[in-house]
Amino acid sequence: MESNRFNKIGVLGRLGSETVAATLQRLAHWCHEQALPVTFDTALEAMLESSAMEPAPQFASREEIGFWADLIIVVGGDGTLLGAARDMAQYEKPLLGINRGRLGFLTDIMPDNMATEVGRVLQGDYVLENRFLLEAQIVREGKVVAHAMAMNDVVLHPGQSIRMIEFELHVDQQFVYSQRSDGLIISTPTGSTAYALSAGGPIMHPSLDAIVLVPMFPHTLTSRPLMIAADSEICVVISDNNDLPPHVSCDAQHHMETRNGDELVIRRHPHRLHLLHPSGHNYYETCRTKLGWGSRLGDD
């Protein structure tokens, strides 16, 4: 990925935030000073229209930005980047995150360092990670009735009810187990530090080409997280014994409802996300900082 490709900047951001709006204005001003063409997501127009920016910002749809931009900068938190990843992965353009959220596992440039760090990335001084996404389909009587993408995880859960659900798990057309539990988390390495971690799943390095299946409070002491190859096909068959239909959530941002007898089919998405970090990015340092791991022995 050559740095001289980064001469057209697309910008996406979290809506309804004054701090995000301020960062977007600073970013637009900086790009203008660098003589870099920049185009903002049309969803941000209301946030920037009263800013009296000079020159006036340019706006386009996410689809148009996906085709036009060489680099896409996302201003917001990890949730904002997850949504951007699902929308933009098909265009195979690199994403760079500026953190205006809480945790910052994915959006790791702090606003105070924005000009310096973005400048370094444009000069080719960055770390590139290729991360995969999942695509989920609900199949009913042989037909796909709903589908969605996920960068973190696909979660089968009871919905708004508090009750266990029944399902069967198959991997590559081989029966794995039947289960009564609160649900199942199907997570990428990116999502292993999110919901799957809270449910007792392992932390997976982003470079791993694997998926982890994490049961949620299963009715057996022997049910444990299961790691499988990323190119596996996962099929979860919804039992006919459920009183209420389970739900499926993708990245906790897109929700689908099943019916008894449906199949939830999950595969790796054909396009990968190209995620950029500032040079010197260290995944383990991020874990130490965000998850509160201890320092070296003897450190004060």
153 has binding-site annotation: yes
13 has binding-site annotation: no
19 has binding-site annotation: no
90 has binding-site annotation: no
* Residues recognised as catalytic: 78
163 has binding-site annotation: yes
Strand partners, 71: 9
193 has binding-site annotation: yes
243 has binding-site annotation: no
194 has binding-site annotation: yes
181 has binding-site annotation: no
Residues 73, 79, 81, CA angle at the centre, nearest 5°?
20
152 has binding-site annotation: yes
Annotated binding site for NAD(+): 78-79, 152-153, 163, 180, 182, 193-198, 253
Binding-site residue positions: 78-79, 152-153, 163, 180, 182, 193-198, 253
